[in-house]
Structure 1
Amino acid sequence: MECLIKNGWNAEKIPDYGCENTPKEGGQTNFVVGICFIIYGVITEFLYMVDVMVMMKKQQRRLSCYKIMIALGVYDMAALFVNSFLTGYFWINGVNYCTNPTFMYVVGCLALGGDHEDNLLDLVSIIKK
C-alpha cells in the first residue's frame, strides 16, 4: 500500500504494475460464473451472520476464545465479500486489472491484509488453547 501512496495513488506508476502494453477495455465476461460466485457469497454470508450472532450472545462473549472467533468471523465475512461478490461482479462485467488498476490494487492489498490478520488470529487462538 505504501507503494501506492508513494506513487500518488496511481497503481500504474508502481514498477511491474503498469498496463502500458495491455488494452484497457474489459476482458472476457461470463454471466453464469459471476452469478454462481454471487449466490455462493449470499449463502455463506448468511450462514456466517447466523454463526457470529450466536457467538455474540453475552454468555458466549465472556469467554476470550469466542471473542477471537467473533473477530475471525468478521474478517472471514470481509474476505467472502471480496472473494464472492466482487469476483462475481468482475466476471459479469469482464473487469480485469487494467480496467481499473488502482481499485484492484487497493482491494488486493485489503484482501491480503485481512488474510494475514486472519492467520494471526488463528495463531493467537492456538496459543490460547
Structure 2
Amino acid sequence: MIKRWTMRLGLTLALGVTVLLSTTSPAFAGNTLLLLSDIDGRQVAHMVHVDDGDVFKIYDDQADGYGPEGCLQVYTPTHGWATLRCEHNGAGDGNPVSFNYNVLELVAYRMRLCHAIAGCSYQGFTE
C-alpha cells in the first residue's frame, strides 16, 4: 500500500516537473507590460512588448499635452544599459505608436517608459 502510494506521488511530481520545464522554453515566452503612473496614481502611459513578431507598442493614456517616450534597451557587461530604439507618442488618444525589433534569446533587455510629469519606469525581460 505505501509502496503504491509512493510510486503515485513520484509519478505525479515527475509529471509536474516535466510540465514546468516544457512551459518555460522560449517558444512559450509571453508579452511584457510596463505601466507608468503619475504621483496621484493615474496611469499616464503604458508600453507592451508583443512576443509574437517582437512588436513594441507605446500608448499615451492621458491627453495632458505631454507624450511618453518608450525605449528598448539591452544590457552589455562593458557599458551597462544601452538604448537600441525609442519612439515618442504624443497623441493622448490611447492609440499606440509601435516599432519592431528582433530580440535575441538569453539576452537581458528592458523597456524604459518616460513621461515629462511622471518620470520613468523600467521593466526587464528576456526571450
- TM-score interval w.r.t. the shorter chain? under 0.3
> Which structure shows the higher strand fraction?
2
Q: TM-score scaled to structure 2, two decimals? A: 0.22
Q: For the pair shown, which has the larger CA radius of gyration, 1 or 2?
A: 2
Q: TM-score scaled to structure 1, two decimals? A: 0.22
> Which structure shows the higher helix fraction?
1
